[in-house]
Structure 1
């Protein structure tokens, strides 16, 4: 392995939980290089945990080990697994939907259930509520440090059995492109949709095209307005909305130097729909 360990949680950093995971990993091998993906996943939000992995993982080299802990079912009978991607990266995670985007958008070629009789922090057997420390950080560190091989993680499971969250595909029908608001660009309040650049441009849309954008939540219309498709934020005036291609090659919605999400009280998930059509 490459001795890179990347950790994501919904723990925040206001207490010692993340530091304890670091300590476990360093105790396995002090030469490990440990990085934070984020610890600001909203509590229990498995969907966002899945998306943040997808947003990040392709920029890391092969053999990188990711530990993702968004685990409202900790201590239950949900499985703890390590998935191997088609690009030979590894993700240590509960099997609760965290791997949805990786499985669907990138690809998983093999997965194994963590054998906790071997891959568990010594003397932690009576603890059932901190698998992030006792199982995931420990197993991830051992894998990244070459203390164990992938085969020694535990028994293999069918990749097709890995749990996936509901994920609606974007579509185009009679010139109207429909999708969902998958995630927010949190810092700036931009909306990131599941509409790919290829699908978007298949509607004959070019830079500078005027479009009508409608956003609804559970069929209740929240926003409807005209905006243009721009290359960058500077293609609109200050405070004006625009559509653009984000860093994942998907369509985003933004306010120039403002938060679109806050301005219109927009959130994310399968119930948040967006439709886009050219203004004739």
Structure 2
């Protein structure tokens, strides 16, 4: 399957590099040296170091909001320099350039559900003529992923970068389960800049479990009653459960920081009960 999408010239960057060092700027320099007309968009460089699960969540939140033909580069790569593959995932609307370590898990699953293998493809990046001449064993973002993304925006077909693969490595991303009292049991998978605790429980999960607005969530011994539409539906300083912009259940504090208030962190368990049940 050949990628027939006209490149938009847009490249997004998602990394765990932070902003204190020169790594992000260097990647941009490499891209612009190959494709001077490229438009580079920073998604975030604040993924927790080596946190593949957080990266996978973030990556599936933004692709739908970019023009067709956008190239998304994801560099959260604890296995850099090892034998893990470097890949391009193409869909009918975008291309993703990343290490094959699970960071594309959600994107891959959504693409397979929506388009299937007939319209999506994965390519192993083995053609070194599209890399920088010298490849460091610790900075593939600069030496491999950035130049590949730049060449993609210039119209080089994905198949030119290496052989096609059948599938990708999927991270072991835990899905919500059912507890002994019929509750949904999930976990916090991301804490945003505001301290909102975003869970792996989606609106779809709640509907399938028959849980609606009359519900109670339990996190770190705190019970949050009701499912609200937005933060301002509760008093300032109050805990609130709502469906956020990515359709995931989140626990927040109006005009406050839920993670700090509760002492919550990524991986903590969240239980959601129908309101007719009493949470422990």
Distance 2:187 2:100 in 1: 24
CA contact (8 A) 2:211 2:273 kept: no
Cα drift, residue 204 of structure 1:
4.7
The answer to whether structure 1 residue 193 and structure 2 residue 199 are counterparts is yes
Match of 1:260 in 2: 258
Distance 1:196 1:164 in 2: 19
> Which residue, out of 12, 20, 30, partners 2:26?
20
Cα drift, residue 206 of structure 1:
4.3
Match of 1:237 in 2: 235
CA contact (8 A) 1:115 1:154 kept: yes
Distance 1:9 1:203 in 2: 35
Which is strand-richer, 1 or 2?
1
Match of 1:112 in 2: 123
CA contact (8 A) 1:171 1:199 kept: no
Cα drift, residue 273 of structure 1:
2.0
- Give structure 2 stretches of 5+ with no counterpart: 1-6
CA distance change for structure 1 residues 42 and 199 in 2, over 3 Å: closer, same or farther?
closer
Match of 1:177 in 2: 184
Cα drift, residue 198 of structure 1:
3.0
Distance 2:208 2:143 in 1: 49
Cα drift, residue 40 of structure 1:
1.0
CA contact (8 A) 2:217 2:272 kept: yes
Deviation string 1:54-75 (CA, Å, 9 cap, x unpaired) is 1111211221101111111111
Q: When the two structures are superposed, what TM-score results if normalisation uses the length of structure 1? A: 0.87
Match of 2:4 in 1: none
Distance 2:45 2:72 in 1: 13
Match of 2:244 in 1: 246
Cα drift, residue 202 of structure 1:
4.5
> Which residue, out of 133, 145, 148, partners 2:154?
145
Distance 1:256 1:155 in 2: 50
Deviation string 1:157-215 (CA, Å, 9 cap, x unpaired) is 112xx11111222245654222222212x2111111122213324555444x3x33223
CA distance change for structure 1 residues 234 and 78 in 2, over 3 Å: closer, same or farther?
same
CA contact (8 A) 2:35 2:153 kept: no
The answer to whether structure 1 residue 279 and structure 2 residue 269 are counterparts is no
Flag as ranges the 4+ runs of structure 1 deviating above 3 A.
105-108, 171-175, 201-207
Match of 1:89 in 2: 94
CA contact (8 A) 2:217 2:241 kept: no
Distance 1:29 1:106 in 2: 28
Distance 1:89 1:254 in 2: 32
Count of residue pairs brought into register by the alignment: 263
Distance 2:161 2:93 in 1: 15
Match of 2:3 in 1: none
CA contact (8 A) 2:55 2:76 kept: yes
Deviation string 1:104-128 (CA, Å, 9 cap, x unpaired) is 2343721001124222113x14x22
Q: When the two structures are superposed, what TM-score results if normalisation uses the length of structure 2? A: 0.87
Where 1:229 maps in the other structure, the secondary structure is coil
